[in-house]
Chain A
Amino acid sequence: MNEYKSLPNEDSKCIDLTSCDSGSDTNCNGSFGEIYIPESKKHFAVINPSKMCQPMGAVQALLGIDGAMPLIHGSQGCSTYLRFQMCRHFREPVNISSTSMSESTVVYGGEENLLKALETIWREYKPKLIGVTSSCLTETIGDDMNLIIRKFRSEHSDEELPLIIPISTPSYSGSHVDGYDKTIKSLLENMALQNQANDKINIVPGNISPADVREIKEILELMECSSIILTDNSESLDAPHTGSVSFLPPAGTKINEIIDSANSKASISLCKHANSGAKFLEKRFDVKSISGPLPVGLKNTDKFISAICQIKNCELPEKLEKDRGRLIDTIIDAHPYNYQRKVAIYGDPDVVSGLAGFTAELGMMPAVVCTGAESIRFLDDMKEVAKESGSKPAVMQGCDLYDLQNYIKDNPVDLLIGNSYGARIANEENIPLFRVGFPIYDRMGAQRNPIVGYSAGIRLVDTLANMILEKYYDASGGEIE
């Protein structure tokens, strides 16, 4: 047990877990901590994008709040297309309202539409919170959402209004990853209040599957660690069938919990790219902030769990210890099939770097990784993975699936990991695709299959190894050359 506690790092003062050298036991041949940045064959066009716009991330964060309604201040298409994408991924009804901007309201400003929209939502849907996200349209015409919301509040000063949180998310900067991050930060900036210290840990999951959030909650429960999940989409975006339908998330993070987050012992942002909210709490209320890595695979999960052990000053529960042992057992069982298999991984930066670290643990080679978001942090994370695994991955940030496919054409890989948009690459290049990320619309279970934690890791190893067996071994068990 003690051995475990000291596993990830000895330096308990360390904040950013990945910045600490955990003493890699994979002695590397060749380049140490090096990455290779391939050059894109094009300079202007984006072909087959691997990122979405800020409102997408914002809406996903808001839908994890109990009784919250997202409102996109922009054209109807913004909310309708986001709903379409989310419905087909989560296979759940998703409601996002729109201020329905049209030509005349664009010319004269969106104040009237936004006021009307707030009124309609308040009266018809009775939410506890309205998250108002801007769009490229309303940012450009310069609508002052803060001012308009203040006006709405003063018009109804004698009535009980829902909380209204403005979030600036123009789609011409950043990506859905930033949209999520900004939303969490806006919520905390507007709501967090310090009073009585609680014994909780804040968890900012980032843009991950409801199944992953549920997995994290189960781990925390096993560790008897009370927490505030910012935000918790595990019920709203993977809801049980009850015969009824709700227009607002029927469960999720409570308003009071968001307010109370300033009193927690620490915050852990599972995704480094979603840590602005936690950083804010640290700066403003002195709540210690820990960022990533996403607990995918053995070492990354170790880091997450030991961070909790340190904060709570507790030991690893027996159940988790056994899960951890089983994960190692699974990795050993599968290692002959996985060894030196080249993988290409694409998607959101933290998911990609997390999975890259995991595949390296399995003995695979993360040969090329790609994210649509532009991120220096991603490069640093991949350097860390390269250092720990002794591989030299090609790292693409701010790139698209066209770039990825071009690279794969010249440098073939054995396995592809990413969302459904890669199905065409998989088909054309004849590589099996393991689907993870967003959106997944051509297979079942995107909202139900976790990847974080030890026990999800076990299933992940089995699935990947089975895909390899299916593709690269014949019926009699021989390896196909």
Chain B
Amino acid sequence: MKNSSKKFNGFESLKSSDKESLELKSIKLPQNDDLIITEVPDSIIKTLESRIGHMCVKKDESDEVGPTCNMASVPGAVTQRSCVYGGARVVLMPITDAIHLVHGPIGCASCTWDIRGSRSSGEDLYKKGFSTNLQEKDIVFGGEKKLFDTIIELNGIYNPAAIFVYSTCVVGLIGDDLKSVCRETGKITKCRIIHVQSEGFRSFNKSLGHQLACDAMLDQLIGTGKPGLDEKSAVSTKKNIPTLNIVGEFNVAGDLWAIQPLIEKMDITVQSTITGDSCVEQIANAHRADLNIVQCQKSSNYLARQMEQKYSIPHLKVNFFGIEDTAKSLLLIADFFQDQHPEIREIVDKIIETEINKVRSEISHYKTRLTGKRVAVYVGGNKAWSLIRAFEELGMKVIMTGTQNGLPEDYRRIMGTVSEGTLVVDDANSMELAKLIKKYHPDLIVSGAKEKYMAHKLGIPFCDFNHDRISSFASFQGFINFAKEVDRAVSSPVWKLTSKYYQGIVKNE
């Protein structure tokens, strides 16, 4: 305990004037030199010339320049990237009491419904797959009429809190006017019909989809809640209870349910969650909160920044993955409310003390097995940097990290977090990933469903940190789950069965 409380001394000096720029700074753990890739190869792996700049190794502490990024994928490569529609959908889909209607041919809906493991404590309307199922004649004569009829019909069947209407590639081409159909049907149904202009081809980077989803909420939802209907903010205002929104937390595997109780323990009301386990009316009242805390900074920083401009709600970047980052995040929040609610800090200190002791003792036996193992992370979002510290807490070392669609700011973040000798890759295609795995032999790969079986075929343990995840990894309790999952992947005896193949070859080199 002494150890851990020492570590947090640094936070006591935080000033509230730093609030705006507060970012979680990394705590450097002792480094095991053996684990670092000492050799910095000229060309990391053999690949297309245009791809070479997309990989780099952090050379020293001052090395802030990440790999080349935010460029179109090479056509023909098996890219791990998705489309703009996919990006918009992942942000909005967790809104539980809304219909998510995909205006387009059937494939866009049938491949993407009910695929995100966002959990709900109430409604399950968001889990259904809705499509206008555009046919040839709709493409020729336009799909607006069908969209109109579909919205009216769906509203009649479900009487939902809102209908989000997503535009797809072909709808953008034929020029259906989503906005006016949504406006017209909104008048008729008295329901919020929200258009999302997410044509798949609009960008090679699905981050645009995240932004378009945020725009849809900002322009058509947030700020539209009627004050009388919002009990939460009425009570909070009356009793002078601080409120905040949890932004960029999608409740995958119930992550939110590990975070929200901590906030509530601090006597802070959670005004709304955007968008994990959320209701439409809740988000409509998000503008009444005192503070936004942003968990997934990849998808939702934009929303927080816009809300700051529009409603003067300040935001804090937080990270609830990992013990220390969770503790730091709670301290940041306490510090934000320090002036008006100094009592929060006391509660936070207590929470941290009890929880950290509990977690440290529960993970100790996992840690013995995991210490010294090397990890490769390749993911879509903010996990590329937010997981690094969490692995270090387990005694593991991240030797490679990367994202499918990172922006320069994301890579600066990554370069600031990783230790020297770490390989950082951008938009690696499946062949490059296999070559990297073969070259560096990590003991664990953390990625999404598409990479899972490639790792397994190469005989390398895999941990899903994406849609398919079934246990919550957030906050203190989540960290125990995380340690358990990582241990389950890494320490299973099944890998002994494959060991004779361990020097596996990558074909078609």
Check if A309 is an interface residue, CB within 8 A of chain B.
no
Identify A48's interface contact among B115, B128, B168, B500, CB under 8 A: B128
Collect the chain B residues with CB atoms within 8 Å of residue A136's CB. 104-105, 107, 134, 139, 168-170
Identify B79's interface contact among A80, A103, A243, CB under 8 A: A80
Task: Give, as a whole number of angstroms, the nearest-CB distance from B423 to chain A.
Answer: 19
Chain A interfacial residues counted at CB < 8 A? 79
Task: Give, as a whole number of angstroms, the nearest-CB distance from A86 to chain B.
Answer: 9
What is the CA–CA distance of A44 and B115 in the complex, to the nearest angstrom? 24
Task: Give, as a whole number of angstroms, the nearest-CB distance from B185 to chain A.
Answer: 12
Q: Is the CB of B132 within 8 A of A100?
A: no
In the complex formed, the residue of B with least CB distance to A77 is: B83
Interface residues of B in 61-94 (CB under 8 A from A): 72-86
Interface residues of A in 152-181 (CB under 8 A from B): 170-173, 175
A interface footprint on B102-136 (CB within 8 Å = 1, 0 otherwise): 00111111111111000000000001111111111
Check if B1 is an interface residue, CB within 8 A of chain A.
no
Q: Is the CB of A172 within 8 A of B498?
A: no
Q: Is the CB of A43 within 8 A of B149?
A: yes
What is the CA–CA distance of A46 and B133 in the complex, to the nearest angstrom? 6
Q: Is the CB of B154 within 8 A of A172?
A: no
Nearest first, the 5 A-B pairs at minimum CB distance are: A243-B501, A53-B107, A77-B83, A120-B76, A117-B76
Q: List 20 A-B contacts (CB under 8 A).
A: A43-B149, A44-B132, A45-B157, A47-B157, A49-B106, A49-B109, A74-B169, A99-B75, A120-B74, A120-B77, A125-B431, A125-B508, A136-B168, A137-B170, A171-B107, A171-B108, A172-B138, A243-B502, A245-B507, A372-B106
What is the CA–CA distance of A93 and B458 in the complex, to the nearest angstrom? 11
Given A77-B206, A136-B104: 10 more A-B contacts, CB < 8 Å: A46-B106, A81-B112, A95-B430, A119-B76, A136-B134, A242-B457, A244-B506, A246-B507, A247-B434, A250-B507
Collect the chain A residues with CB atoms within 8 Å of residue B501's CB. 241-244
Identify B450's interface contact among A80, A140, A241, CB under 8 A: A80
Task: Give, as a whole number of angstroms, the nearest-CB distance from A252 to chain B.
Answer: 14
Collect the chain B residues with CB atoms within 8 Å of residue A172's CB. 105, 134-136, 138-139, 170
Check if A121 is an interface residue, CB within 8 A of chain B.
yes
Task: Give, as a whole number of angstroms, the nearest-CB distance from B191 to chain A.
Answer: 14
Check if A76 is an interface residue, CB within 8 A of chain B.
yes
Check if B468 is an interface residue, CB within 8 A of chain A.
yes
B interface vs A, CB < 8 Å?
48, 72-86, 101, 104-115, 127-136, 138-139, 146, 149-150, 153-154, 157, 168-170, 173-174, 200-204, 206, 430-431, 434, 449-454, 456-459, 468, 498, 500-508
Identify A45's interface contact among B110, B154, B206, CB under 8 A: B154
Q: Is the CB of A47 within 8 A of B130?
A: yes
Check if A319 is an interface residue, CB within 8 A of chain B.
no
A interface vs B, CB < 8 Å?
42-49, 51-56, 71, 74-85, 87-88, 91-103, 105-106, 113-114, 116-121, 124-126, 135-137, 140-141, 170-173, 175, 239, 241-248, 250, 372, 402, 421, 424
Q: Is the CB of B457 within 8 A of A244?
A: yes
Task: Give, as a whole number of angstroms, the nearest-CB distance from A171 to chain B.
Answer: 4
Q: Is the CB of A245 within 8 A of B105?
A: no
In the complex formed, the residue of B with least CB distance to A172 is: B105
Identify A99's interface contact among B76, B112, B132, B206, CB under 8 A: B76
Q: Is the CB of A244 within 8 A of B453?
A: no
Q: Is the CB of B150 within 8 A of A76?
A: no
Task: Give, as a whole number of angstroms, the nearest-CB distance from B147 to chain A.
Answer: 9
Identify B106's interface contact among A74, A75, A85, A175, CB under 8 A: A175
Q: Is the CB of B78 within 8 A of A97?
A: yes
Collect the chain A residues with CB atoms within 8 Å of residue B130's CB. 45-47
Q: Is the CB of B107 within 8 A of A241?
A: no
Q: Is the CB of B169 within 8 A of A118?
A: no
Collect the chain B residues with CB atoms within 8 Å of residue A49's CB. 106, 109-110, 113, 129, 131, 133
What is the CA–CA distance of A42 and B129 in the complex, to the nearest angstrom? 15
